[in-house]
Amino acid sequence: MFSLRFLNLVRCTKDGGALETVSVSASETISNGKVRCRQCGRFYRIWDGILDLLGEDGPQDADSRHELELRDGSEPILRGVQGTPPSWRDVAEVDSTLREIGSPEGKTILELGCGPGIYTRRLATADRLLAVDFSITALRRNLAQLPAGARVGLVRADVGTLRLTPNAFDLALTTLYSNLPTAELRRACNRTVAAALRPGGRYVVSAHHQDQRRILKKLPESGYYAEGGIFYQCFTPNSLKADLTDFRIEGMRPICVEVPFISRVPNDRLRAWVARQAAALPGVNRFGSILIAAVAKPDPAR
C-alpha cells in the first residue's frame, strides 16, 4: 500500500507540479489507483502499492534502457533479496555505508537505486523513507520484504527526470551513482538531490573506486560488466569531488579492501571485518573497491 503521506515529497516529472489524488478517499493508503499533477493534469498510476512516475516513458539513454531490461527480465539481479546470501563485499559495504548514514530515526530520507531493499529494510525506521528505483521487479521484491509498519514509500522513476519537493529531505543515499552512464545524468541526479535536501542535509554517495589495483593494471575508469553488459564508471577521490561541486565535502574514503589471502578467512562476516580494518590503514585503503563520500548541502544561515 502506498501511503499518501509520501505524496507531498514527489512532483510531476513533466513540470514539477504538486501531485494530488484523483478522488477523495477516507483511506490514507492506496494499493491501486491514480494521482495527477495539479498544474498540467498529467496522471500517474499507483499499482500494487508502488507510485509509478516512469510509466511507458522509459529511461532516455540506451545504456539505461539495457540495464532496465536486465533488471526487469527473466533473470533479475538478486543482490539484497532476503534469502540470497550476501558476499563479504556486500557485508563490508553495507556496514560501512550505514555507519556513514548514522541513525535514521526521526529523519526524512531519500534512497536512490533502492533495488530489492538491501538498505531499505535497514533504514525503514526513519520517519519517512522514499525509496526510488526504475525497476518494477526490484520494487515489488522490496515491498514484499518490508517489515510490518515500515514508513516507506516506493516510487518507480528515472533519476534523470525525477522531481522532488524542495527542501524536504534530511538525508539522501545513492548506490546507483556508478551505473549512471553519462556525466549529464550524474549532474541531473546531483541537482535533484541538492534541491530536495534541506540546508545542511547530508548526501551519502557510494561509487566504484578507481583503486590502486586498477591503476597498476592500467584498467579504464569506465566500461561494461562482463556479466550482463551494464555500464559502470569508476572514480578517484578527485573525480568524485569534481562531480559533487553542489555540496560541501565532509568526508571521502575507500572501503571494501580485498587484502591478500582474504579468501582463506573462514566466513564472509569475518572477511568483511578484515576488509573494514584494512580500510582504516592509510596506503592499504587505496586498494578499496568502493569509494564512499559524505557531503552536505550548504546552509546559508551558517
Q: Which tens digits make up the pLDDT trace of 80-112?
A: 666 677 787 888 899 999 999 999 999 999 999
Residue 197 to residue 194: CA distance in whole angstroms: 6
Q: Which tens digits make up the pLDDT trace of 149-188?
A: 889 999 999 999 999 999 999 999 999 999 999 999 999 9
Can you say how many angstroms the Cα of residue 81 is from the centroid of all Cα atoms in its chain? 15
Residue 179 to residue 172: CA distance in whole angstroms: 17
Residue type, 294: A
Q: Which residues fall within 8 angstroms of residue 158, CB to CB, at 6 or more apart?
A: 54, 57, 58, 59, 60, 64, 134
Reported pTM: 0.92
Q: What sign does the CA torsion over 25, 31, 36, 37 have?
A: positive
Q: Which tens digits make up the pLDDT trace of 66-87?
A: 888 888 875 556 666 666 777 8
pLDDT at residue 141 above 80? yes
The angle formed by the CA atoms of residues 225, 219 and 292, to the nearest 5 degrees, is 70
- Buried residues in 10-47 as b, exposed as e (16+ CB within 10 A): bbbbeeebebeeeeeeeeeebeebebbbeeeebebebb
Which of 54, 79, 74 lies closest to 64 in space, CA to CA? Answer: 54
Residue 37 to residue 7: CA distance in whole angstroms: 11
